[in-house]
Amino acid sequence: MARLRPHAATAALLCVAATAAWAQQPPAEEPGWAKGRPKTEAATRMAPVPSFPIPTAPDQLPTAKFKLPPGFKVETWASGVLDARSLRQGDKGTVFVSTLFVGNKVYAIAEKGDRKPKTIVDKTEFATGIEYHKGALYLATHKQIVRYDGIEDKLDNPGTPAVLHDKLPGGQDHSWRYLRVNGGKLYYAVGAPCNICDPDEAHARIFRMNLDGSGIETVARGVRNTVGFDFDPKTGSLWFTDNGRDWLSEDLPNDELNVVTKPDQHFGYPYCHQGNIADPEFGWGKNCGEYTRPAALLGPHAASLGLAFYNGKMFPTKYRGAMFIARHGPWNRTVKYADIAVAWPDGKGGAKVEPFMTGFVENNNYLGRPVDFLVLKDGSMLVSDDHAGAIYRISYGGR
Amino acid sequence: MSKGFAVIQAIAGIAMTLLAAAAPPAGAQGTPPAQGSYAQRYAAVCASCHGANGRSDMAGTPVLAGQHSFYAITQLFLFREGRRDNPAMSAVAKTMKDEDLRGFSEFIATLPPLPAVPPAAPPDAARMARGQALAQAHRCVICHGADLSGGQQVPRIAQQREDYLQLTLHGFRTGKRPGYTQAMTEALSGISPEDLDTLAYYVARFPGAATRPPGK
């Protein structure tokens, strides 16, 4: 399915040379994701892999192949959820599910019942960033942030939302959003408009604004692309995953796990990666010491997405106050990997990271790819999988 | 937009009408046959327009031989959702369940690439050179590969039908033809209609590209 083919043969190229007049044409801009890509055949065959356009059939899901620590179990909570990305829950139990390139939708799934996804927002590009707060569903696309008030009473017809912010820069690269409400502010991020470039002030930052869209301010700079962040319930600090640049090599740099500890910190992009690698182009004249170092490294091309602190009571004590991180897995790396990691803040600005749930990859093919988390009221945890179009439930039963 | 393009649009319209006639009756919807029968279903549903071996000789109808299953299933999905605008193909795709999208696309990927029928006259060398320069300047090879054979969700375009390439390129440029993203529209936005036609001319006659097996 999403398998890479071998590419031994190189093409026979035309012998006819372009004339001087045509050669003078300025070359077109590369797509942003291809900036910095080597010209080798193996690298040029790696283009972003979108989700498969149909969900995996329920009996073909990889649920039984997942491996967890002793005492934990995982089951399929919902299937047939095409392109399932972010997860949030309403006060009345409705689980909201966003999508990215394939779905163009937001679904609502009733917690009880057959858990068939009901489309509540349709035909909306990049309908990816969602948050639920005080009866309202917030939705951030590449271009705007809107709010559907009283959403759980209007699932059949959510109506026209209030537009809170319509000046997001749009574009294609890293223009899918992630949302959290904390302390009366809505947090969102705008990624770099490219793989590697020197971004303007509208990009590569985490922002926050008041819930009515006013008072936009920068929370963190030098953030290439974060698609997962949450607040430590103990300290109130904002922790976020950041996806490292591409095409430096297969094994470097790592994705970062970062923590915001004061205003206006710069996390390095595009000048410094993973706290200790100056960028071969943009790093000249810069010093990695000028930027906030990551709390932990999450692996090369890991595509670290959703991040959620575990605030339930079902899992053993050691997991309370830990954060779960979805490593979606690389597209432009020969060896694939994907898992759910768990990370504990060490109280000194760092974090310890270890794998929690594995089994997403078989024979270097993705069976599933985790995206985001939702801790339910009973303390079990949902995980979305956009590749298989499913949502899993992880619970702990002890031994 | 060139006059030639308008003519091709008209021809394609006729082709679509024919396609609609070839669509299976609605009764076929609820009864997907067993696995492995997609060769027969392809022969019944698709071959009259796209060719039994996947090399269409119908105007405006794409060659499927050598196409990748990921690309094929994506297009079937976009037709079924009505996001890719082609009433005839949408009518066919709407009869397909998820497992049919998979079955048809996997069968299509088993059709080996076939070279285009050699034209009576050799290609216009100057136009081919111009097309090659355009393909380099506009970075077609970044996704489609140096041999334009594509891979995964990126289609094989080498030796695709020229009229279909023209339709597609103009459709992307004007935003009429969607993908999952606007990537192709962005890639083509600065190219003149004449240059798109030259690209189509070149890609349709791309030399030596039809010998590799289809990817998975």
Are A393 and A384 in contact by the 8 Å Cβ rule? The answer is no
Output the DSSP codes for A11-80.
Answer: PPPP-PPPPHHHHTSPPPPPPGGGTT---SHHHHT----PPPSSPPPGGG-GGGG-B-STTEEEEEEEE-
Q: Which residue of A has its CA nearest to B180?
A: A101
Among A233, A234, A240, A235, residue whose Cα is nearest residue A208: A240
Query: What are the pLDDT digits (tens) for B49-58?
Result: 999 999 998 9
A11 closest CB neighbour out of B70, B147, B216 = B147
Q: Would you say A30 and B142 are in contact if contact means Cβ atoms under 8 Å apart?
A: yes
> What mean pLDDT, rounded, does chain B reach?
82
Coil, helix or strand for B188?
helix
Q: Decide: A87 and A384 in contact? Cβ < 8 Å.
A: yes
Instruction: List, for residues A62-110, the tens digit of each pLDDT value.
Output: 999 999 999 999 999 999 999 999 999 999 999 999 999 899 999 999 9
Nearest to A395 by CA among A357, A343, A359, A367: A357
Q: Give the per-residue pLDDT at A4.
A: 32
One of 3.20.20.70, 1.20.1340.10, 3.40.190.10, 2.120.10.30 is the CATH number of A34-396, namely 2.120.10.30
**Whether A30 and B139 lie within 8 Å, measured CB to CB:** yes
> Is the pLDDT score of B78 beyond 50?
yes
Kindly list the structural domains of chain B, giving each domain's residue range(s) and its CATH number in brackets, ordered by start: 3-108 (1.10.760.10), 125-204 (1.10.760.10)
Among positive and negative, which fits the CA dihedral B206, B208, B211, B215? negative
B131 phi, psi to nearest 5 deg: -65, -40
Instruction: Identify the H or E element spanning A221.
Output: strand A217-221
Q: Are strands A95-98 and A106-109 parallel, antiparallel or unpaired?
A: antiparallel
Q: What percent of chain A has pLDDT over 90?
A: 81
Contact assignment for A28 to B147 by CB distance below 8 Å: no
Q: What residues of B are in contact with residue A170 (Cβ under 8 Å)? A: none
Distances (CA, A) of A269 to A195, A294, B79: 10, 12, 40
| pTM for this prediction | 0.82
A265-315 pLDDT, tens digit each: 999 999 999 999 999 999 999 999 999 999 999 999 999 999 999 999 999
Amino acid, single-letter form, for residue A96: F
Q: Tell me how far apart the alpha carbons of residues A389 and A83 are, in angstroms, rounded to a whole number.
A: 5
> Between chains, do B99 and A41 touch, taking CB under 8 Å as contact?
no
DSSP classification of residue A316: -
- Nearest by CB: B182 against A13, A53, A172: A172
- Banded model confidence at residue B119, pLDDT cuts 50, 70, 90: confident
Q: Do B181 and A101 touch (CB under 8 A)?
A: yes
Task: Indicate the SS3 state at residue A325.
Answer: strand
The answer to whether the Cβ–Cβ distance between B207 and A41 falls below 8 Å is: no
Nearest Cα residue to A229 out of A260, A194, A263, A266:
A260
> Any idea of the CA torsion for A207, A122, B106, A391, to the nearest 10 degrees?
60
- The domain limits of chain A are 34-396
Cβ within 8 Å of residue B36, ≥6 positions away: none
In the predicted structure, residue A7 carries a pLDDT above the cut 60: no
Residue among B67, B73, B150, B135 at smallest CA distance from B105 = B73
In this complex, the residue of A13, A22, A49 whose CB is nearest that of residue B146 is A13
pLDDT of B18: 41
Among candidates A23, A34, A47 on the partner chain, residue whose Cβ is nearest the Cβ of B154: A47
Per-residue pLDDT of A179-232, as tens digits, reads 999 999 999 999 999 999 999 999 999 999 999 999 999 999 999 999 999 999
- Report chain B's C-alpha Rg in angstroms: 17
Cα–Cα dist A25/B116, whole Å: 30
Q: Report yes or no: A28 at the B interface, CB cutoff 8 Å.
A: yes
Host H or E run for residue B90: helix B87-93
ipTM: 0.70
Measured CA to CA, the distance from residue A366 to residue A224 in angstroms comes to: 25
Which of A28-37, A52-61, B89-98, B182-191 bottoms out in mean pLDDT, i.e. has the lowest? A28-37
Distances (CA, A) of A46 to A4, A5, A224, A336, B144: 8, 10, 20, 13, 10
Most A-contacting residue of B78, B85, B136 (CB-CB within 10 A), to test interface: B136
The verdict on a CB contact (< 8 Å) between A54 and B101 is: yes
3-state DSSP call for residue B201? helix
Chain A residues with beta carbon closer than 8 angstroms to that of B138: 28
